[in-house]
Amino acid sequence: MGLFPEGNGVAFIQPLVTAALLTLQREAHAIASRHGVPASPYFAPDGWVPHCTMAWKVARERVLEAAGFLLGRTLPLRGTVAAIGVIDTPAEVELRRFELRG
């Protein structure tokens, strides 16, 4: 589990980072770049932190409470990815969703 240092109230858990995951991210970034999609430096291949946000926009004085909650969980969590998507932040609007099958 981790916190992003910018002080924007984000607590997250991180998946197992594999070479396959990093390759997938590099390929997705290259495709987006070829189509003129602007990307934040946070999503550049050398700056990306794979994560699953568990708390977002938590007040600064409560972010450690969110982190404490996550620390109390039994990890690793196991699950199945059913879909991937693109979300416009900070608007919090899902732009695209791709259901995964098989």
Q: What is the DSSP code string of 17-56?
A: --HHHHHHHHHHHHHHHHTT----GGGSTTT----EEEE-
Average pLDDT over residues 6-22: 86
pTM assigned to the model: 0.69
The per-residue pLDDT for 102 is 65
The per-residue pLDDT for 53 is 86
53-101 pLDDT, tens digit per residue, is: 888 888 887 888 888 888 878 877 788 888 888 888 778 899 999 998 8
Average pLDDT over residues 25-51: 88
Query: Based on the number of CB atoms within 10 Å of its own CB, is 73 exposed (0-12), middle (13-18) or buried (19 or more)?
Result: exposed
The per-residue pLDDT for 99 is 93
